[in-house]
Amino acid sequence: MTTPVRTSASGAASHGHAPYASFSSYVRARGPVLLRTARSLTANPLDAEDLLQTALTKTYVAWERIEDHRALDGYVRRALVNTRTSQWRKRRIDEFACEELPEPARAQGGAPDVAERQVLHDAMWRAVTRLPDRQRAMVVLRYYEDLSEAQTAEVMGVSVGTVKSAVSRALAKLREDPELAPAS
């Protein structure tokens, strides 16, 4: 997608500080949405923030040349993708010869790899779907939708105590689920 660009330099000089104000208000309004896009392009949330900052810097530099400000999201998304692609192409991979292979991160007490996390996530979701409907609904509202006990009670039309006891019973069933038992 190409964004129409203003070719005359006279438009830039006549606005004074207006570009900064309009850019700032654009970033305040659209920043969270653009950050979600950046997070979908990187595995690390901090890298996503850096990626967005770089794309916004490029957008600010071109702010005066962008004629159609209705197309700004597309412009910034294109800058995000292009920046990420450039980073990926420039990525330098260092290889070092060694006598022994290093132990996998998992054996050293590190975090599980992505595949292991996905397997656990899938097993957990299957276990949740085996819960009775009411317990499943409460667990989803409490832990997947991150509602409080009071909010869950309100949505379900029950008391907070009912939510507490039903969720407690559901968690006990999940702890006993053979598919979720740790591998020895």
Tokens linked to 110: 């590190």
User: In the beta sheet, which residues pair with residue 5?
Assistant: 66
Q: Give yes or no for residue 35 having a pLDDT over 60.
A: yes
B/e letters for 9-21, b = 16+ CB within 10 Å, e = fewer, are eeeeeeeeeeeee
- Residue 29, SS3 per DSSP: helix
61-93 pLDDT tens trace? 988 888 888 888 888 988 888 888 887 777 666
**One-letter amino acid for residue 23 of the chain:** F
Residue 127 CB neighbour total at 10 angstroms: 20
Asked whether the beta carbons of 104 and 112 are under 8 A apart, the reply is no
Determine whether 40 is exposed, middle or buried from the number of CB atoms within 10 Å of its CB (0-12, 13-18, 19+).
exposed
- Considering the entire predicted model, what is its pTM? 0.42
> Phi first, then psi: what are they for 93, rounded to 5°?
-110, 120
90-105 pLDDT tens trace? 766 666 677 777 666 5
Q: Give yes or no for residue 161 having a pLDDT over 90.
A: yes
